[in-house]
Amino acid sequence: MDKKLSLSFLWHMHQPYYCNDLSGEIIMPWVFLHAIKDYYDMPWYVDQFTHIKATFNLVPSLLVQLKAYEDEAVNDKFLKVLKREVFDLNFEEKTYLIEYLFFSNVQKMITPLPGYHDLYLKKEQYHSYTQMAEAFTDREILDLEVLFLLAWCGNYLRESNEVVKSLLQKERGYTQEDKLALLHALFLFIKEIIPYYKKLMDEGKIVVSTTPFNHPISPLLFDIKNAKQANSHTTLPDLDSDKTLKEDAFVQIDNAIHYYEKIFEQKPKGFWPAEGSVSYDFLDVLSQKGVQWACSDEEVLYKSGHFGKEDIYKNSTLHFKDRSINLFFRDKALSDLIGFSYSGWDEERAVDDLIQRLHEIYQSSADNQNVNIILDGENAWEHYNQNAMPFFFKLYEKLEALSWCQTTFFDDVLADNTIINNDLHALEPGSWISGNFDIWIGHPEKNRAWELIYLTKADFEKKEKSLDPPTRKKIQKEFLIAESSDWFWWYGDDHHTDLASTFDTLFRTHLMNIYTLMNTSIPQDILEPIIDTKEAGNSFYKHSANKITATIDGRFSNFFEWHGAGEIDLANELSSMSMHDFTISKILFGCDEHHCFIALKGDIPSIMHHATLEMDIEDTHTFNIPIQTTLYTDPLGIRCMSGSIIEIEIDQKLVKGKKINFKLFKEDKLLQLLPLYSKLEFTCLTKMKENWYI
């Protein structure tokens, strides 16, 4: 029998829990938006092909929120404002709306809709949401509301829903009736999502796996010292005792299994633990609960013994005293290419590249092998053309035609005794990011969040016996929500979002709710924001945390283009000087595998075509770059274009290990030193962390 390469896809579907259960209000609308764009489209892509199989990981706390959106009267803060007549809104409500209504990928979601793009160009003329709210007419805001919803509609809706199709054709000039008809159609559509997964699962086209209920980093609940074991340099929170949150971890697992049974009428066979976070004791408990397999990242396997790349293509069995669990380890390179890189490629080239890499794995061994591609199933696609439909259709079509490769389920791989098995008797704790937990613990802000959970837990234990069972149950739910990985993701300096303060408030709200339920005054420690905006403002130099690949066009091409970039705040570098004394106010910087990128923010129009930027690379080169609206290139590997910002691309060979500074000249007069006292250095070339989006 000819050997085969098995290919196991797992698409992970998850959003933070945005609801304040005490008030019943959903604070942010991202579950609704991804519901109309991704949650149906991704299995629908699979359903268009006869021989393609994939596993979808549905987090229970996401399913709960999807169920909430099956009710058109759902208490969503954003949608409640959106539904109202625009002329009835006050200025504050219009400002709030406009902040959200441009949260769409500019190139892939805004530009294809002419009316939306025109409004975006108008928005670019202003520097604040309040200015935009003053400048946009009621008719323009109404168009913006409808176009925002249409931009987030996925391909299935665009092809199959008559309301969506007719409003896309209309392009602009929408009415209140149009908006309400669209919202009604979208709510009806959301009711179809969970039944569609169940239908495909019953037909054998997909498998659904799950995650501990509220997406916690389970190894840290079992023992927070697992963070130290995963990385000896991690600073642990300052806790008063050696107590753990292990009992909560058990509840998170049990609740997930019970909710899965309720929805899919069977027990889950597999888990993708939140962020691929595993430890020996956590997996032992999963095994006790009857879970047959779980997934993590290849780096966890490498840390756990003398294993190489070839071992992630085998089955692995982790043995406990009298049980075992099967483990699958994601191919980091292939998964991250889909998640982070292929969106910028032509679809044909991207698919051919992926298949070539699979073929190299196939040829690397005489044995049958299994490749695991595991990644977020919703956030990357807005960076692709048409929400990644052309990419997936080409990929699935070509995979179906291959004689040497077959897509399969993890259950099928376990039944294939021709694939070699690794027997493991120990496993180091770790996650899919660098094989440790530093994204969720170690930074002072992240540690403060852990400390507040433990503080609240201690106060609860003092009053627990005096509380009735329904109240204790509500309190337990608030603890489980607060233990979600999502809050810790946004604390610290490794990820950035303009909504960080909202996430901070929502996290602390769940702890405040516990004190409210206990009828106890809320401690000042919990009332105070964890994110110290004043302190953050005084820190002028922030290192790049994430991979950056910028389009050199002199503008912010999309919301995430410079997301997580390093930043030098030039006003705070010399805080005694007024911000108005600066032409350039901020320097953003970052890098990818081949290039380094710089963006200069400030009053660029005032110097356009009249200024030159002198870039000095330590002890090697000096470049004189004109500030112009056309693309400037230098044969040594410099590209620059100016518009609302100045964007520069540099061949990383020119700057690796070097420090950089700039001089800005206007009509041959020195206007500004950038930075004034410090120098820019691309530390991201030696340590680059992955990024994930809301």
Residue 637 within a domain: yes
Same domain, 253 and 396: yes
Q: Which of 484, 512, 531 is the last residue of a domain?
A: 531
User: What pLDDT does residue 691 have?
Assistant: 39
Model-level pTM? 0.80
Residue 258 lies in a domain: yes
**Residue-range definition of the domain harbouring residue 592:** 541-685
* CA count, 13 A, side-chain hemisphere, 199: 10
Shared domain for 353 and 372, answered yes or no, is yes
* pLDDT over 80 at 495, yes or no: no
Q: For 42-53, what is the mean pLDDT?
A: 98
Residue scoring higher pLDDT (120 or 666) = 120
Residues 456 and 503 in one domain: yes
Summarised one tens digit per residue, pLDDT across range 413-466 is 999 999 999 999 999 999 999 999 999 999 999 999 999 999 999 999 999 999
Torsion of CA 618, 624, 625, 626, to 10 degrees: 160
**Are 648 and 682 within 8 A, CB to CB?**
no
Please check the confidence at residue 170 and state whether its pLDDT lies above 90.
yes
Angular region, 626: left φ>0, alpha ψ -120 to 50, beta rest: beta
**pLDDT-based confidence at 679, cuts 50/70/90?**
confident
Domain boundary at 483, 508, 531, which? Answer: 531
pLDDT at 466: 97
Give the whole-number percent of the chain exceeding pLDDT 70. 94
d(CA 338, CA 361): 17
Lowest mean pLDDT among 10-19, 163-172, 294-303, 584-593: 584-593
How many whole angstroms separate alpha carbon 464 and alpha carbon 474? Answer: 12
Distance CA 154, CA 131 (A): 31
More confident residue, 678 or 32: 32
Q: Both 524 and 612 in a single domain?
A: no
Q: Do both 167 and 80 map to the same domain?
A: yes
pLDDT at 580 over 50: no
Q: What is the pLDDT of residues 147-160, one digit of tens each?
A: 999 999 999 999 99
- Categorize the per-residue pLDDT at 663 as very low, low, confident or very high, splitting at 50, 70 and 90: confident
User: Looking at per-residue confidence, does 679 or 343 come out higher?
Assistant: 343
pLDDT tens figures, 220-238: 999 999 999 999 999 999 9
- Same domain, residue pair 315 and 404: yes
CATH code (residue 346): 3.20.110.20
Instruction: Tell me which of 98-102, 352-356, 469-473, 620-624 is least confident.
Output: 620-624
**Cis amide linkage into residue 469, ω under 30° from 0:** no
What's the pLDDT at 577?
Answer: 31
Q: Which residue has the higher pLDDT, 668 or 659?
A: 659
On whether residue 616 sits in a domain, the answer given is yes
Of 431, 455, 477, the residue at which a domain comes to its end is 431
pLDDT at 348: 97
Q: Is residue 523 part of a domain?
A: yes
Q: Is residue 165 part of a domain?
A: yes
Task: Mark whether 413 and 453 lie in a shared domain.
Answer: no
Q: CB-based contacts of 678: which residues, under 8 Å, 6+ apart?
A: 540, 541, 568, 573
The label of the residue with tokens 């909560």 reads 248
Both 410 and 517 in a single domain?
Answer: no
> What own/partner pairs with CB < 8 Å and gap ≥ 24 does 63-66 have?
63/194, 63/259, 63/263, 64/17, 64/259, 65/15, 65/17, 65/18, 65/19, 65/26, 65/31, 66/31, 66/35, 66/39, 66/190, 66/193, 66/194
Question: Taking a C-beta distance cutoff of 8 angstroms, is the pair 106, 120 a contact?
Answer: yes
Sequence letter at residue 360: E
Q: What is the pLDDT of residue 571?
A: 58
Query: Per-residue confidence at 574, pLDDT binned at 50, 70, 90?
Result: very low
pLDDT for 293 equals: 98
Do residues 33 and 169 both lie within one domain?
no
The lowest-confidence range among 273-277, 466-470, 596-600 is 596-600
The C-alpha atoms of residue 605 and residue 303 are separated, in whole angstroms, by 52
pLDDT: which is higher, 303 or 602 = 303
What does the mean pLDDT of the chain come to?
Answer: 91
Number of domains in the chain: 4
Tell whether the model's pLDDT for residue 340 goes beyond 70: yes
User: Same domain for 524 and 596?
Assistant: no
Instruction: Kindly report which listed range (97-111, 155-169, 284-298, 669-683) carries the lowest average pLDDT score.
Output: 669-683
String of DSSP letters for 562-630? TTT-EEEEHHHHTTTS-GGG-SEEEEEEEE-SSEEEEEEEE-GGGGTTTEEEEEEETTTEEEEEE--SS
Residue 112 lies in a domain: yes
- Does residue 415 form part of some domain? yes
Angstrom distances, CA of residue 60 to CA of 27, 54, 76: 19, 19, 19
Which long-range contacts link 530-539 to residues 24+ away (Cβ below 8 Å)? 530/445, 530/448, 530/449, 530/452, 530/491, 530/504, 531/445, 531/491, 531/500, 531/501, 531/504, 533/501, 537/569, 537/572, 538/572, 538/575, 539/569, 539/572
Q: What distance in Å separates the CA atoms of residue 317 and residue 554, rounded to the nearest whole number?
A: 52
Averaged pLDDT for residues 310-338:
96
Tokens 């803060």 sit on residue: 77
Q: What is the DSSP string of 446-512?
A: HHHHHHHHHHHHHHHHHHGGGS-HHHHHHHHHHHHHHTBHHHHHHSSSS---TTHHHHHHHHHHHHH
Q: Interhelix angle for 469-482 vs 444-463, to 10°?
A: 170
596 and 497 in a common domain: no
| Rounded mean pLDDT, 133-148 | 97
- In terms of Cβ atoms closer than 10 Å to its own Cβ (0-12, 13-18, 19+), residue 240 is exposed
- H-only helix segments in 345-468: 347-363, 389-401, 410-415, 444-463
How far are the Cα atoms of 64, 222, 490 from residue 483, in angstroms, in the given order?
A: 17, 12, 14
Do 489 and 595 belong to one domain?
Answer: no
Residue 145 resides in a domain? yes
Residue 637 Rama label (left phi>0; alpha psi -120 to 50; beta): left
Q: Is the pLDDT of residue 677 over 80?
A: no
pLDDT value of position 584: 87
Q: Give SS3 for 293.
A: strand
Q: Are 184 and 162 in contact (CB under 8 A)?
A: no
pLDDT at position 569: 76
User: Phi and psi dihedrals of 641, rounded to 5?
Assistant: -150, 145
Number of Cα atoms under 13 Å in the Cβ half of residue 134: 7
Task: Give exposure, 49-81, as e/b (b: 16+ Cβ within 10 Å).
Answer: beebbbbbbbbbbbbbbbebbeeeebebbbbeb
**What local confidence, expressed as pLDDT, does residue 678 receive?**
62
